[in-house]
Structure 1
Amino acid sequence: MLATEPAFRTLYYYRLRRASAVSAVFGSLASLCYPGERTLHIMCSDVGPGLIIQHGFATVIAANRIGANCWVNQQVTIGFKGHRGGSPVLGDNVQVYAGAKILGEVTIGDGAQIGANAVVIDDVPPYHTAVGVPARCLPPRAERTVDSPSDRAHPRAEP
Structure 2
Amino acid sequence: MFDRLAAYLESIQARDPAPRSRWEVLLYPGVLAVGLHRLAHWLFQARLYFLARFVNHFSRWLTAIDIHPGARIGRNLFIDHGFTVIGETAEIGNDVTIYQCVTLGGTNPTNGKGGKRHPTVSDGVIIGSGAQIIGPITLGERARIGANAVVTDDVPDGATMIGLKARSTLVPAEEWLREFIPYGTPCDEPCEEIGGNGNGANASRRIAELENQMAALRAELDEMRAAGAAPVKRSGTDS
TM-score above 0.5, yes or no: yes
Identity of aligned residues (%): 32
Cα gap change, 1:128 to 1:86, in 2 (>3 Å):
same
Separation in structure 2 between the aligned mates of residue 147 and residue 48 of structure 1, nearest angstrom: 30
- Once the 2 structures are TM-superposed, how far is the Cα of residue 147 of structure 1 from its aligned partner? 8.7
Q: Which has the higher helix share?
A: 2
Q: 2:154 aligns with which of 104, 120, 123?
A: 123
Q: Which moved more, 1:119-128 or 1:10-19?
A: 10-19
- Report how many aligned residue pairs link the two structures: 148
Separation in structure 1 between the aligned mates of residue 109 and residue 73 of structure 2, nearest angstrom: 23
Q: Which has the higher contact order (CA 8 A, sep 6+)?
A: 1
- Once the 2 structures are TM-superposed, how far is the Cα of residue 157 of structure 1 from its aligned partner? 5.7
The alignment yields a C-alpha RMSD, in angstroms, of 3.4
Q: Which moved more, 1:130-139 or 1:80-89?
A: 80-89
Contact 2:169–2:192 (Cα < 8 Å) also in 1: no
The reply to whether residue 42 of structure 1 matches residue 40 of structure 2 is: no
Larger CA Rg, structure 1 vs 2? 2
**Which consecutive residues of structure 1, in runs of 5 or more, have no partner in the other structure?**
none
Contact 2:66–2:84 (Cα < 8 Å) also in 1: yes
- Once the 2 structures are TM-superposed, how far is the Cα of residue 61 of structure 1 from its aligned partner? 1.1
**Which consecutive residues of structure 2, in runs of 5 or more, have no partner in the other structure?**
1-23, 111-115, 177-189, 195-200, 210-239
**Amino acid in the other structure paired with 1:112:** A
Runs of 4+ in 1 over 6 A off after TM superposition: 150-156
Cα gap change, 1:3 to 1:95, in 2 (>3 Å):
closer
TM-score normalised according to structure 2 size: 0.52
- Once the 2 structures are TM-superposed, how far is the Cα of residue 18 of structure 1 from its aligned partner? 2.5
Contact 1:60–1:76 (Cα < 8 Å) also in 2: yes
